[in-house]
Amino acid sequence: MAKVKLSYDVVNDLDTFIIREVGKRMANSGIKMRKTDIINEIANHCGVGYENINRIKRNVSQPSLAVALKIADYFNVKVEDIFKIS
């Protein structure tokens, strides 16, 4: 599949949201959490693999609209809060 050059860039704050979730969970439960635990939960919530979410988090690939909406749903925020077009 040929790579298409877009006239815009999509950046995301997914890593920030994951870090905040880890902090919230550790503060609420006192149990040590890892980013990988949250990434696994997001992947399960979205019905995709761990590596897919990890590539999105690192801005290596972009999510489909369905996956972006499910990620936003996981954090209970608007999709625009996580994904930004510049």
The CATH classification number of 10-85 equals 1.10.260.40
Average pLDDT over residues 9-33: 92
Q: 63 near 11, Cβ under 8 Å?
A: no
Window from 3-12, 43-52, 67-76 with minimum mean pLDDT: 3-12
Query: What tokens appear for 56 in the block?
Result: 């999105």
Query: Which amino acid appears at position 60 of this protein?
Result: V
Report how far residue 27's alpha carbon sits from residue 30's, in angstroms, rounded to the nearest whole number. 6
CA distance 56 to 48: 11
pLDDT of residue 8: 77
Q: Where are the domains of the chain?
A: 10-85
Q: What percentage of the chain exceeds 90 in pLDDT?
A: 79
pLDDT class of 54 with cuts at 50, 70, 90: very high
pTM for the model: 0.87
Close Cβ partners of 48 (under 8 Å, ≥ 6 residues apart): 67
Query: For position 86, what pLDDT does the model report?
Result: 80
